[in-house]
Amino acid sequence: MKPEFVPVLADLLKTYFDENDLFGLWQAFDLHPVWDNPRNVPDWMGTARDLILQSSVGNRGRLLASVLNTLEDRIRAAYHSTKMNAERQRLDEI
């Protein structure tokens, strides 16, 4: 993947993953997300950078593929949920 996708992936990770998801998925691939120790929160940009720029190192490529598949599923679910809510609101207005 191209380095310019790092901020996009960072935003998607921050939006669609919580800390538990992040740790669980990374542990499944025997990896650790990048962590902002002073603030005790995930470093979303660092994690995205690590996945994209080092995707050929260890299990990172497989993890990246899994992350992208999970993101696709979650984005579809969010879209479907939003679409259904809009339909319900429209029907309520009738």
Q: Is the pLDDT of residue 41 over 90?
A: no
Residues 6+ apart with CB under 8 A from 75: 16
Query: What pLDDT band is residue 47 in, cutting at 50, 70 and 90?
Result: very high
pLDDT of residue 89: 72
Q: Is the pLDDT of residue 84 over 90?
A: no
pLDDT of residue 92: 74
DSSP string, 11-72: HHHHHH--HHHHHHHHHHTT----EETTTTEE-HHHHHHHHHHTTTSTTHHHHHHHHHHHHH
pLDDT of residue 37: 77
Domain carrying residue 60: 3-93
Percent over 70 (pLDDT), the chain: 98
pTM: 0.78
How far is 1 from 89, CA to CA, in rounded Å? 40
Neighbour tally for 42: CB within 10 Å? 21
Q: How many domains in the chain?
A: 1
